[in-house]
Structure 1
């Protein structure tokens, strides 16, 4: 287990008391499904971020919406925080009990409730993971395209407005969630949206909840869009003499309107780490990993166009992966890049970045950031969903060396400010959590954040829904 961060690098913590009477009431209602065991609480008190905080006072394992509603009602009665938990893959401290409270684990709420293949929709409980969903709908000839890498839950993906490798063609959770069932801060169960493709009825509460990171309610049901499985899929990798050449290729592909499904940038550091972790023999140069969806003729035309553009920028070693096994091997290696990087420096923690800029500004933002990272001496990896202008550095720090954390955070600050100066965002897909609260103010302004606070106070007057995340009250 990785060493914790030194105390002075912990997020600001204001623990609220969790009365023994609440724990007794939870145990009376949930019996063995309410745990106060330290090992269980610690498991639910950490995510993939570099932060650390005391664990929640108890963990409730919910199995249905009524369980969630009853747990929230009890927490509201005692004014104790509630933190939703899926599988714990978030990267910005979303799950940490910085104000104490209870964790509601929805991983047992893992049923696919209805598949409406004719309408291209599916309704699931929040604990269903993306891989599970695709396994259950594949017999219909449909699939769910949002792929953040980790096998995250649909509830968590909705709460953080996740996206991932397919976003360049299929969009993010914002575009793909049609309706929700949500337990509010009072324990009331509400529904937002319908299975209809569009609506002009009232405020768009679905969009309000998507990306709210558990601060407005607990998601207990999700209805999302499905898509027909492509008739043909082909993947390719192409190596480049420089990161700039790979980025310029991507910009050209997008600006020409090539309907590429995935285009991922991996720098040479990351290729080296992935080779060691996944036992691959990829050329240790900047690389684009691409995927094309469509008819056989359409896929062939897309690929030929991209190969021609790549060659203009020095792209070489264009290799195809047309069988499902070959594609899976390559994408598994890409999705394991984070873990490959962590293993490359035993005991390290990764300070992750997550900026997104307009595609025309991608080269300016990324290349200056690479120069700064190289000069810092901090080991790092770089991956990017560059087709939509989103990329991530992972600065690999020794958690027992505060100076390394300071350098990494300084790099992150410069990167985010650069993205904002280029009319981008401080987070393209990971969410705000604890790490990006100051950046949110810079990006949106005091007035917009105060409007968010007003909404939060109105919907959660006791401030029990995942408090201390996105902004402070």
Structure 2
């Protein structure tokens, strides 16, 4: 809701040391508990804790050449990312490994996987060749994500319902939608119960879609957004809350009780000619009065 006229670039010094430690577990439940316990360590060097759920691991196994294959017993993965001085990271690394390996029987997956994970994001998600199935066939699918801010305690419920929603649409529209799994991460070591950016990745064969299928996709997105609100979360996080399917839920339900009306009043006051991001967030409604 603004026009940028000046930008100040605040450059941070690159950390002296970093440690991306990936640990394999045998279930999402194990990863969910491990992530919480890692956050509970309260390490100031902990830049992020991230969970790859079993659906994501399965997708990477069948689709991503950059992903380093793991033993079949590895069903889920937790990343603990440490930044700081050499001394800080060394001390924190000991606590992380004690928690993940000794207390949770996590399998340390080595340093190479961090490069493979980054390569998979950089080299794969921006192109359309995705969705390799069990037979090894590849279809042209684009990557879509639905994400929300969800508290740690609600992650199992949200994960279960989101996969159920995508599975239902995938079955109804064979070859049009695919479930590429979920990941969820948090950056704050002082509030381990707090918000996790929680994302489900959906493959969509856009070139084969009909108007009916597009409306089904929008409806699927709305159902996913509804689950986020049921969990006490926010769909207006990162990518979400501004697109068809998301935005209606975000504005009408998440911002209920007058919040959206207040936003429209502010929009009309600050931008009487609607030149600041027109068409976004349903705020064009501010000019209907």
TM-score normalised by length of structure 1: 0.47
- Counterpart-to-counterpart distance in 1, 2:167 and 2:106: 23
- Counterpart-to-counterpart distance in 2, 1:306 and 1:254: 10
Post-superposition CA distance 1:388-443 (Å, at most 9, x none) = 41121122233314565455444433332222222210132125333332122211
Q: Does the aligned pair in 2 maintain the 1:397–1:405 contact within 8 Å? A: no
User: Which residue pairs with 1:332 in the alignment?
Assistant: 119
| 1:455-470 → structure 2 map (5 Å cutoff) | 455-470=266-281
User: Which residue pairs with 2:162 in the alignment?
Assistant: 369
- For the pair 1:289 / 2:79, whether they are aligned, the reply is yes
Indicate which of 261, 264, 269 corresponds to 2:50: 264
**Structure with the greater alpha carbon radius of gyration:** 1
Cα distance, 1:252–1:406 mapped onto 2, change above 3 Å: farther
User: Which residue pairs with 2:236 in the alignment?
Assistant: 427
Cα distance, 1:254–1:429 mapped onto 2, change above 3 Å: same
Cα distance, 1:268–1:402 mapped onto 2, change above 3 Å: farther
The offset of 1:303, in angstroms, is 2.8
Unpaired segments ≥5 residues, structure 1: 1-215
User: Which residue pairs with 1:101 in the alignment?
Assistant: none
User: Which residue pairs with 2:14 in the alignment?
Assistant: 229
Cα distance, 1:336–1:262 mapped onto 2, change above 3 Å: farther
Q: Does the aligned pair in 1 maintain the 2:15–2:83 contact within 8 Å? A: yes
Query: Greater relative contact order: 1 or 2 (C-alpha under 8 angstroms, separation 6 or more)?
Result: 2
Indicate which of 247, 250, 256 corresponds to 1:440: 250
- For the pair 1:418 / 2:209, whether they are aligned, the reply is no
The offset of 1:309, in angstroms, is 3.1
User: Which residue pairs with 1:398 in the alignment?
Assistant: 205
| 1:289-368 → structure 2 map (5 Å cutoff) | 289-311=79-101, 312-316=103-107, 318-321=108-111, 327-336=114-123, 338-339=125-126, 343-344=130-131, 346-368=139-161
Q: Does the aligned pair in 2 maintain the 1:354–1:392 contact within 8 Å? A: yes
User: Which residue pairs with 2:174 in the alignment?
Assistant: none
Unpaired segments ≥5 residues, structure 2: 132-137, 171-176, 187-194
User: Which residue pairs with 1:452 in the alignment?
Assistant: 263
Cα distance, 1:440–1:380 mapped onto 2, change above 3 Å: same
Q: CA-atom RMSD, angstroms?
A: 3.0
TM-score normalised by length of structure 2: 0.73
The offset of 1:319, in angstroms, is 2.7
User: Which residue pairs with 2:3 in the alignment?
Assistant: 218
- Counterpart-to-counterpart distance in 2, 1:368 and 1:228: 41
SS at match of 1:261: strand
- Counterpart-to-counterpart distance in 1, 2:167 and 2:105: 23
Query: How many pairs align?
Result: 254
